[in-house]
Chain A
Amino acid sequence: MSELRLERLDAYRWKVPMHGGMRVPGIIYASEKMLREMGKDESLRQVANVAHLPGIVRCSLAMPDMHWGYGFPIGGVAAFDPAEGVISPGGVGYDINCGCRLLATGLAAEEIKPRLHDLISALYRDIPSGVGSTGSIRLRIQEEKKVLREGAAWAVRNGYGSAEDLEATEDGGRMEGADPDKVSDRALERGRDQLGTLGSGNHFLEIEKVEEIFDGDTAQALGLWKGQAAVMIHSGSRGLGHQVCDDFIAKMVRLDQKMGLNLPDRQLACAYISSREGEDYYAAMCCAANYAWANRQMLMHWTRECFEKTLRKSPRELGMKLIYDVCHNIAKFEKIPLGEEGREKDLCVHRKGATRAFPPGHPALPERFRRTGQPVLIPGDMGTGSYVLAGTSKALAETFGSTCHGAGRLMSRAQAVKSSRGRQIRKEMEERGVLVMSTGKATLQEEIPEAYKDIDEVVNIVHGAGISKKVARLRPLACLKG
């Protein structure tokens, strides 16, 4: 049990007061019930640990889907001053630009229901997934470097999707500042044959149905309607991103020792943003982020092709349109209003298992989202569902423009496997109305619905707290797991 003392701020927020070497307080978005669950693991202490990092601004934040990570909690958000603050690979996570995208169709879920089995089988066949999955493409290093520089645009240029998709992708599917020369040979090697693969663990591709609309105007503006069939894709930067993170944590552990920076957890290893090491990490991280966007763009392209072939319909008849693509493991330089006057300051915002949630009218949003606010995609676990939310000005004021990213784990993977022993998970899911295809049996056991927090409760907190608002809820129909 964590013995941290918490102060209640309001119905949705709790404060971890400054103590020990904390430079700022911690603020946690949670209900009382969720907080009790969080108290069982180390994540509350991790919120306090993040507050020890040099140059942290205002507070160390945690979203309601927070759970125990290593170094930073998952669901953690922290912003740093570029002049005197740090950047931390552990504050981004190993799977750099892990994220998800929602692809809507022009079809009603009822129309595709009789073909659901064929569809998920086709996706299972055509989309490489599972432990150590490799794709159909092996890139030459020079070509891979182009992927790292161009991101999703590289995929579009090579025939995977259209330029219209880029506009519906966070940052247009490409972070500036990517320098492939800062990516190690090992990371490049690991990335060569994994582009266009889903991966394993919590990554998935799911056919869903829009079950409920909460905000009719926003849903309509985004192109969502009740009963519509859609596809959610959740994946990241695969081995390349992991290697980038791993390389830089090792470098920064040494660096921090040399600088005499005393951190409560070595996994918080960091470098000053303005230092060479800090700049190099950011340049390499941008490369991994771009790789992930190209990856999701390709996975989406093949999904469209599978639908066309299986349903024998033209792209026009199918009308498969990218609603949006978000990243939820990233560090970015963003203009954030601070203080009572709300003067904007450039900050390095770390989101580790958290999603950007910019409000209507924000200049970083393309024209089509200026009125709605940025779409926020919250992938659920395979049994329950996903949400589409929209960003708000309160998020910009309170959480550096951030909100939750998913349900968040409640059980460890080992516990989940234990509690699913002797059960037919696939059959249970079918009884709940979800067809499941999976490469690994263990994955299904680790990902059972009860291993996750209640996504409705997580979303109700961010909605109630006003850091994003509910637009639509989707229910899974068929799921492809790694």
Chain B
Amino acid sequence: MPDDRNLKPRYRFIDHTADLGIEVRGETERDLFANAALAVHDLIADTRTVRPRESRVISVSGIDSNDLLVNFLREVLYLFNGERMLAANCTILEMDGERVKAELRGEIFDRERHALKKEIKAVTHHQADLRRGKGGWKARIIFDV
């Protein structure tokens, strides 16, 4: 086990007949993006068992904030689906309304140590909704599973 146990990302499930949806929160927009990234990996495996051994920097753009969040999470998901990497933490390096650059630290999936929970096949645009509310930022994302 890692010495500094990773925090479990904050998200909750929302119901969708065919698929899987989550609602993510954050105090700031950056906070929300980082939290959403970890939530994606926490759906796949328990992120508390992932050690931050390797780093990847991802950079994406979007036509508006919803598109930006979906595109960001598509890249985050590809880390696992394409490179078999699980993330333990995420730092937003740069961000404006149309671009985001982030560093994710984690390690390559190891069957011995990481129990897979669920196959997340894709991040959809369907009902994607990012907004600022009373107590901070909130977003809804639906995945294809």
Binding site for B on A (CB under 8 A): 41, 43, 67-71, 74, 94-95, 131-132, 186, 189-190, 199-201, 239, 242-243, 245-246, 249-250, 253-254, 257, 265-267, 269, 409-415, 440, 442
**Which residues does chain B contribute within 8 Å of A414, judged by CB atoms?**
13, 15, 20
> B145: which of A201, A250, A266, A415 is its contact (CB, 8 Å)?
A201
Q: Are A131 and B118 in contact (CB under 8 A)?
A: yes
Q: Are A190 and B81 in contact (CB under 8 A)?
A: yes
Q: Does B124 contact A (CB under 8 A)?
A: yes
Residue in chain B with minimal CB distance to A67? B17
> B128: which of A190, A266, A415 is its contact (CB, 8 Å)?
A266
> B17: which of A68, A95, A442 is its contact (CB, 8 Å)?
A68
**Which residues does chain A contribute within 8 Å of B119, judged by CB atoms?**
131-132, 199-201
> A409: which of B18, B78, B121 is its contact (CB, 8 Å)?
B18
Within 8 A of A (CB), among B112-126: 116-119, 121-126
Q: Are A442 and B124 in contact (CB under 8 A)?
A: no
Take A132-B116, A266-B125 as given contacts and tell me if A186 and B78 are in contact as well, using a CB distance cutoff of 8 Å.
yes
Residue in chain B with minimal CB distance to A239? B81
Take A246-B74, A253-B67 as given contacts and tell me if A267 and B18 are in contact as well, using a CB distance cutoff of 8 Å.
no
Q: Does B89 contact A (CB under 8 A)?
A: no
In the docked arrangement, what's the CA distance between A253 and B128, Å?
Answer: 13
Measured CB to CB, the closest approach of chain A to B12, in angstroms, equals: 11
Q: Are A413 and B78 in contact (CB under 8 A)?
A: no
Binding site for A on B (CB under 8 A): 13, 15-20, 63, 66-67, 71, 74, 78, 81-82, 116-119, 121-128, 142, 144-145
Residue in chain A with minimal CB distance to B80? A132
Q: Are A257 and B63 in contact (CB under 8 A)?
A: yes
Take A201-B119, A409-B18, A412-B16 as given contacts and tell me if A249 and B82 are in contact as well, using a CB distance cutoff of 8 Å.
no
Q: Could you name 25 residue pairs across A and B whose Cβ atoms are closer than 8 Å?
A: A41-B17, A43-B17, A68-B16, A68-B17, A68-B18, A70-B125, A70-B142, A94-B144, A131-B116, A132-B81, A189-B82, A200-B119, A242-B81, A242-B122, A243-B81, A265-B126, A266-B126, A266-B128, A267-B125, A409-B18, A412-B15, A413-B19, A413-B20, A413-B145, A414-B15
In the docked arrangement, what's the CA distance between A257 and B98, Å?
Answer: 14
Q: Are B125 and A242 in contact (CB under 8 A)?
A: no
